[in-house]
Structure 1
């Protein structure tokens, strides 16, 4: 019997232990780190970088010689004749090995190689850009989740206060000190508070699932995100933020690289202006049988080497107009880059102003919450002393709940604006610490 009891206790202990170990707890920094490792969009960008690396190697290999072979069979309808004598065979087999080395391609190979290097650098910048956007998205959702969690707590506290008021109103009604209307109003407010609490919990669960998705996890993953809304001063000035954005934003770097790539395309468009020069070495075997062993009319093997040039010097303006098109594309991308710079500056200024506004809202919301709590305390005391009304209590309770929600929203908006500002500056700040 004792053995069974010990076994049962051990099983219960293991079940509780496994349930405790199963829930993963993550801070904001840990969530960002996991997202950067597991999010599919990041993995896709890294695959693009790997592909661009192979493109660079492929373009570099084009500088070397190319080896090719050709094998064929020709059957004539009659033997070749020369001066009344047979000069050839009916069956002719030929095997050719060719080595071609480009000597000058009008800067085609060099420019293509340089272009692939730029494309690889741009792919790396794309990874930085995607990672930066993911960090901001994770931080934004994380802070919204913390806000939703605080709203749930506020809704639960509000429900507790309303239920307490319902008990007081019911007790006063039963002894004839208050009309039934007070009790009914309290019941309505309790029912509304229960609905608000359910809505707040649903919003919390939705944000939790969204955050799981950003981290590359299942929406049903059991993850506890640890943290709290807080205020910390922003040490940077607007001028410093704008300067950092110009230096660090990956999308600006990508735009600059796009302009450089367009300039390479312009060089490639002018390639037909130049001659194409190459050297060839050919080794030839021929014969009357498939093994090309030669014959009466075939030399078993021979080789030749040559240097040649090909130059298409007139195509009715095709090359000229192609070059002009590439030139306009360079100009277009240059203008788009300037526009992107303006947009970046606007994003920095917008986030900076949102931080200043949220900072003022936090101060006002804290003062308002202190006043709302005191107002509710006084309203309850007056009601219990039979000098106040039930409406006063319910109004004061609603204002306290609203004040709590306003403070949570202001704190969340402040931290989210800070996250957006660092994103607009092109800087990573997983923990939202002063940098």
Structure 2
């Protein structure tokens, strides 16, 4: 055998041996702060703008409740007035009835006694809206937790895809070098080299796509935590998995009873019912009690004067009942409108319950499917590894070709990627099932 051909064979064997010793499941660790899933969720909850907005909504609803409560209490009013007439109003024998300049000061207290039950009902609505705001904050919190879990595991999946794609490129680069060396010494035909080059080009294209997917996953992760969009994302890998602890019946019953969407719908129903009562306030008169004190005079401090104008202070108490008894059906149609709104709210609740049942069913089936996929692909890993081992032995005995070895390595890489996808998809679907039944797992 010619020395050049021997050298090529030795080079090829060393290249293949180096290739075979690489494990596509191993990635390259990059130094930096490593975030756990729990830390990711806690950070997302701390910085999420939607959650902060929900808390502001609670404050706003609490202020609205205080405003509604104030209508039960009396209103205090004070007025100061200056009036200039063209001349004094004087009547012979009585003196000055109205001077040229008048300064007047008055204060009053008004207490509502009855307003067709509207005050108490508006206060009740304010309390219900505060309760709805608190429920909205809980819903936002649950959404943030689920989004943090989904983003976390999607990033892990993207990282594994890049690691395996890089390993695949390295495999085909080695194969291309071996094929080129063999072709140069006439050991293999040209089409073997062309096939290796085509496979290398395809592998590089898949790596480019994998890097793009990883870049998007990192950007979403950084956006979730409100970090710089291009910051490196270092997170702890999680390969453990376990079956979901509850059966479908438990999940469905829990969701229908404890989902905060249902609780919020119940609050909206109470608000709609109370709105009907408010719309009927026109069927009743309103009754108010008021006390007024008036002082007036020629001087700036509302004192001074002569004649009949000299008695410059007075007070009175009034009980006032008022009723707009004919408004051309305004109150009637207002009540009818609110009844229609109540019917809409009831239908909306039924739609929410239907959607909850569907979400629970889909999430439960996806969770079960992902767990079965893990078990299936685990067997595939063992088979792919055994196939790789046999192919290496056949290559050592010159029964298999280099292409056969790399195809076996590629099969193992693809199987490992399917395994990681099944693991991380299982975690995402389990998180979606917890969200569907209204629970908040932080890990």
TM-score by length of 2: 0.87
Q: Distance in 1 between matches of 2:51 and 2:74?
A: 38
Q: CA, structure 1 residues 391+412, in 2 after alignment: closer, same or farther (shift >3 Å)?
A: same
The aligned counterpart of 2:319 is: 307
The aligned counterpart of 2:69 is: 60
Matches within 5 A, 1:197-276: 197-276=207-286
Gaps of 5+ in 2: 1-30
Residue 159 in 1 paired to residue 159 in 2? no
Q: Which residue among 181, 187, 200 is the counterpart of 2:191?
A: 181
Whether the 8 Å contact between 2:283 and 2:325 is mirrored in structure 1 is yes
Q: Distance in 2 between matches of 1:226 and 1:167?
A: 36
Whether the 8 Å contact between 1:146 and 1:229 is mirrored in structure 2 is no
Whether the 8 Å contact between 1:351 and 1:418 is mirrored in structure 2 is yes
Deviates more, 1:193-202 or 1:322-331: 193-202
Q: Distance in 2 between matches of 1:79 and 1:293?
A: 17
Q: Which residue among 118, 133, 152 is the counterpart of 1:108?
A: 118
Gaps of 5+ in 1: 1-21
Q: Distance in 2 between matches of 1:203 and 1:228?
A: 20
Residue 69 in 1 paired to residue 81 in 2? no
Q: Which residue among 360, 366, 390 is the counterpart of 1:354?
A: 366
Q: Which residue among 187, 190, 201 is the counterpart of 1:191?
A: 201
Q: Distance in 2 between matches of 1:217 and 1:260?
A: 42
The aligned counterpart of 2:44 is: 35
Q: Distance in 1 between matches of 2:213 and 2:258?
A: 35
Q: Which residue among 99, 103, 108 is the counterpart of 1:89?
A: 99
Whether the 8 Å contact between 2:276 and 2:338 is mirrored in structure 1 is yes
Q: CA deviation at 1:83?
A: 6.7
Q: Distance in 2 between matches of 1:380 and 1:162?
A: 16
The aligned counterpart of 1:417 is: 429
Q: Distance in 2 between matches of 1:30 and 1:196?
A: 32
Deviates more, 1:371-380 or 1:355-364: 371-380
The aligned counterpart of 2:339 is: 327
Q: CA deviation at 1:425?
A: 0.7
Q: CA deviation at 1:380?
A: 4.7
Q: CA deviation at 1:368?
A: 2.1
Task: Say what the alpha-carbon RMSD is for the aligned residues.
Answer: 2.3
Q: Distance in 1 between matches of 2:195 and 2:342?
A: 70
Whether the 8 Å contact between 1:108 and 1:268 is mirrored in structure 2 is yes
The aligned counterpart of 2:12 is: none
Q: CA, structure 1 residues 298+185, in 2 after alignment: closer, same or farther (shift >3 Å)?
A: farther
Q: CA deviation at 1:171?
A: 4.1
Q: CA deviation at 1:325?
A: 0.8
The aligned counterpart of 1:18 is: none
Q: CA, structure 1 residues 185+381, in 2 after alignment: closer, same or farther (shift >3 Å)?
A: farther
Whether the 8 Å contact between 1:250 and 1:426 is mirrored in structure 2 is yes
Residue 373 in 1 paired to residue 382 in 2? no
Q: CA deviation at 1:143?
A: 0.6
Whether the 8 Å contact between 1:40 and 1:216 is mirrored in structure 2 is no
The aligned counterpart of 1:16 is: none
Q: Distance in 1 between matches of 2:186 and 2:436?
A: 64
Q: Which residue among 33, 58, 62 is the counterpart of 1:49?
A: 58
Q: CA, structure 1 residues 265+255, in 2 after alignment: closer, same or farther (shift >3 Å)?
A: same
Would you say how many aligned residue pairs link Structure 1 and Structure 2?
A: 412
Q: Distance in 2 between matches of 1:175 and 1:374?
A: 33
Whether the 8 Å contact between 2:175 and 2:403 is mirrored in structure 1 is no
Q: CA deviation at 1:254?
A: 1.3
Whether the 8 Å contact between 1:285 and 1:294 is mirrored in structure 2 is no
Whether the 8 Å contact between 1:24 and 1:222 is mirrored in structure 2 is no
Q: CA deviation at 1:315?
A: 0.8
Query: C-alpha offsets along residues 386-423 of structure 1, whole Å, 9 cap, x if unaligned?
Result: 43355544543443332222222222221111011011
TM-score by length of 1: 0.88
The aligned counterpart of 1:122 is: 132
Q: CA deviation at 1:427?
A: 0.7
Q: Which secondary structure state, in structure 2, belongs to the residue aligned with residue 176 of structure 1?
A: coil
Whether the 8 Å contact between 1:159 and 1:190 is mirrored in structure 2 is yes
Q: Which secondary structure state, in structure 2, belongs to the residue aligned with residue 71 of structure 1?
A: strand
